[in-house]
């Protein structure tokens, strides 16, 4: 893009941004540098760390996540929080795979910590891998990812030389509670469902809470989601029947509503420290598929589309039934699209008192 040059640029003959010869100061040689690729899926950001971090140790992905929780919090805050990020930023840290046939491990990070799985992140990461060349998906577009919640297999759909869409087969997903009655501050008695889609979510009717999911009522949506999560945590101890206790926590609440543009429904996911997902939430639509299947509202192989607060959609279907011990489960497949938004090199100046970031709501 050509810009009108400033006076200093006119003096040097520079006419475009590319021709402005900015360089880091000499003292930057001692600064820590972090390189990232940024993308979005249905409007939800993903910042992928591609340089400046040592390999993350751990025999499995949950061990790697525990290491990150202990040792990489300054990194998470620096990249997710202001001034480099914002209250609703989301990220991914690639690692070595931990399975014999895995191509990549991945840890997901947000404003409050490290999650166990992220569907919009898988879609964006697979798109970046296909278009940027690492790790290269197989000839059929397959990319096998190791996550803290388990194996997730993505398939890149190409069109015209680009990654047009990504489908991923999620971990087994299941219903933890149907029609659970909770007492929500400011609302009173409310019935919610709870399901696992790579993380545990409560599902509540947005209209019952008096909020709209049109992208304009965000403050009220976040407050309602926080209130429901707090009420569910006080009422129900969630537990994964076939996994370690690292998975046993309610990640957030998904408010649901009809979609005015013809999708099956609309989602607004409030998670972590009041983050609002712009997308329908990949793990959230997986949990919703388990709920719909349990209620007989979603047949095997039947695709439905769910929209986020911006109206952008993800598709989901049940690939097959599964079991986790005695717990009935389903294996969902999710489909969505992502787009590259930029690449960056961030620096951590040791003289900067706010180098590790801050967060304002």
Of 295, 253, 258, the residue nearest 270 (C-alpha): 253
Burial grade of 123 (CB within 10 A; 0-12, 13-18, 19 or more)? buried
Residue with tokens 């893009």: 1
Q: How far apart are CA 192 and CA 288, in angstroms?
A: 12
Asked about 118 being catalytic, the answer comes back as: yes
Please state the three-class secondary structure of 124-179 as a single string: HHHHHHHHHCCCCCCCCCEEEEEECCEEEEEEEEEECCEEEEEEEECCCEEEEEEE
Angle, CA 272 vertex, CA 217 and CA 88 arms, to 5°:
55
Distance of CA 147 to the CA centre of its chain: 12
* Token couple for 199: 């993380």
Burial grade of 349 (CB within 10 A; 0-12, 13-18, 19 or more)? middle
* Token couple for 264: 């099956």
Q: From the CA atom positions of the chain, what is the Rg in Å?
A: 21
Phi then psi for residue 42, to 5 deg, are 55, 30
Q: How far apart are CA 193 and CA 147, in angstroms?
A: 25
Q: Which of 42, 118, 173, 269 is catalytic?
A: 118
List C-alpha distances in Å: 52 to 31, 91, 223, 339: 11, 15, 36, 23
Q: Which residues pair with 150 in a beta bridge?
A: 147
Residue with tokens 């690492």: 134
107, 65 Cβ separation under 8 angstroms: yes
* Token couple for 348: 């951590």
The number of C-alpha atoms within 13 Å of 140 and in the hemisphere containing its C-beta is: 6
Strands 275-276 and 338-348: unpaired
Question: Which residues are the active-site residues?
Answer: 118
């Amino acid at each position: 893009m050509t810009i009108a040059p400033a006076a200093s640029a006119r003096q040097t003959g520079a006419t475009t941004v590319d021709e402005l010869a900015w360089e880091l100061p000499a003292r930057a040689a001692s600064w820590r540098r972090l390189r990232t690729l940024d993308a979005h899926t249905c409007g939800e950001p993903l910042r992928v760390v591609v340089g400046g971090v040592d390999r993350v140790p751990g025999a499995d992905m949950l061990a790697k996540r525990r290491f990150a929780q202990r040792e990489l919090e300054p990194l998470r805050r620096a990249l997710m929080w202001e001034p480099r990020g914002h209250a609703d930023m989301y990220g991914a840290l690639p690692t070595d795979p931990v399975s014999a046939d895995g191509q990549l491990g991945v840890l997901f990070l947000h404003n409050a910590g490290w999650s166990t799985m992220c569907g919009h992140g898988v879609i964006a990461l697979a798109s970046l891998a296909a278009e940027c060349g690492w790790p290269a998906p197989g000839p059929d577009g397959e990319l096998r990812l190791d996550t803290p919640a388990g194996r997730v297999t993505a398939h890149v759909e190409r069109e015209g030389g680009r990654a047009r869409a990504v489908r991923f087969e999620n971990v087994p997903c299941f219903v933890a509670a149907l029609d659970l009655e909770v007492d929500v501050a400011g609302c009173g008695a409310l019935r919610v469902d709870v399901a696992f889609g790579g993380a545990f979510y409560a599902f509540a009717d947005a209209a019952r809470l008096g909020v709209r999911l049109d992208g304009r009522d965000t403050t009220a949506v976040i407050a309602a989601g926080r209130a429901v999560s707090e009420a569910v945590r006080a009422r129900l101890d969630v537990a994964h029947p076939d996994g370690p206790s690292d998975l046993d926590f309610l990640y957030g609440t998904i408010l649901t509503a009809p979609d005015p543009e013809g999708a099956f429904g609309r989602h607004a996911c409030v998670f972590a420290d009041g983050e609002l997902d712009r997308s329908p939430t990949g793990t959230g639509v997986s949990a919703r598929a388990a709920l719909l299947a349990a209620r007989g509202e979603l047949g095997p192989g039947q695709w439905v589309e769910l929209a986020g607060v911006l109206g952008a959609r993800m598709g989901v279907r049940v690939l097959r039934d599964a079991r986790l011990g005695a717990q009935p489960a389903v294996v969902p497949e999710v489909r969505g699209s992502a787009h590259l938004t930029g690449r960056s090199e961030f620096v951590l100046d040791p003289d900067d008192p706010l180098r590790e970031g801050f967060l304002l709501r």
